[in-house]
Amino acid sequence: MTTDTPPSSDGEDTQPSFDSDAQAAIVDEHADGPTSGTPASPTPVTRRPRRLRAFLIGVVLAAALAILLFVVLGSTSSPKATGGGPVVGVGDPAPGFVLPSVVGGPPVDLHALGVDRHRPVVLNFFASWCTPCREETPLLASTARAEAAKGSVVQFVGVDGADPPQDAIAFIQQSGITYPVGQDSTFRVTQGLYGLSGEPNTFFIDASGIVVGHTIGPVTESQLNRWLHRLGGVKG
């Protein structure tokens, strides 16, 4: 929005002078108007620069908003996500994998933990840099402990994506995870096998190794309980 320039404080007229021919032209142009005979005020010379300044400010604000949206919307996306295979669908066999354990010890082998033992699996993809994961993971950790204490056959497995080892270990400890977690530092499993481009994602796999459910985004307690009941868990 532009505003006209006010007159100077000492009372002097700040309008530029006009020669007599220009004055006459203005009088003739407004002869039929209510102010006939009165010269029209010229457009202040500051109008165009102010419009340009307002336009430039608008461009800067728009760019800042675009950057903010990119950061917010990308908060759940994998930092190295560049696409992969198709997303594993419900009814598909869960791709097997072997990953090094984040906390050390035996490698994390999905089939050895699940289908080879005829056990259903809750497979969760997460990362410490993922904001929704910080809310979801403690629920999964506490539920897994409760299921194990009750003798549930359901095996929980985690896949941590693109985390520095120290960040992954700290996140696992803070969240209370006790189930196996594999380190997928290159997204070989997350993207290449499961076709994912963000966290969190949770797959529910039956005892025969078939995907029977997939939750995109943080899983809720009611969703988790429902799937545990279907998979054979014993949580009330």
Q: Which domains occur in the chain, in start order?
A: 20-75 (no CATH), 98-231 (3.40.30.10)
Contact 182, 158 (CB under 8 A): yes
Q: Identify which has the larger pLDDT, 62 or 7.
A: 62
Q: Identify which has the larger pLDDT, 50 or 89.
A: 89
What pLDDT does residue 47 have?
55
What pLDDT does residue 186 have?
94
- The per-residue pLDDT for range 122-156, each reduced to its tens digit, is 999 999 999 999 999 999 999 999 999 999 999 99
- pLDDT of 169 > 90? The answer is yes
- pLDDT of 29 > 50? The answer is no
According to DSSP, the residues that pair with 205 across neighbouring strands are 121, 211
pTM across the whole model:
0.66
The rounded distance, in Å, linking the Cα atoms of 22 and 15 is 14
What pLDDT does residue 154 have?
97
The rounded distance, in Å, linking the Cα atoms of 67 and 82 is 20
- The per-residue pLDDT for range 40-85, each reduced to its tens digit, is 555 555 456 677 777 777 766 776 665 444 333 333 444 444 456 7
- pLDDT of 160 > 50? The answer is yes
- pLDDT of 13 > 90? The answer is no
For residue 147, give the DSSP letter. H
The confidence band for 20, taking pLDDT boundaries of 50, 70 and 90, is very low
Instruction: Give the mean pLDDT of 201-206.
Output: 98
What pLDDT does residue 63 have?
64
- The per-residue pLDDT for range 171-193, each reduced to its tens digit, is 999 999 999 999 999 999 999 99
The rounded distance, in Å, linking the Cα atoms of 199 and 196 is 8
Portion of the chain with pLDDT greater than 90, in percent: 61
Instruction: Give the mean pLDDT of 94-99.
Output: 98
- pLDDT of 21 > 50? The answer is no
The rounded distance, in Å, linking the Cα atoms of 92 and 212 is 8
The rounded distance, in Å, linking the Cα atoms of 144 and 214 is 18
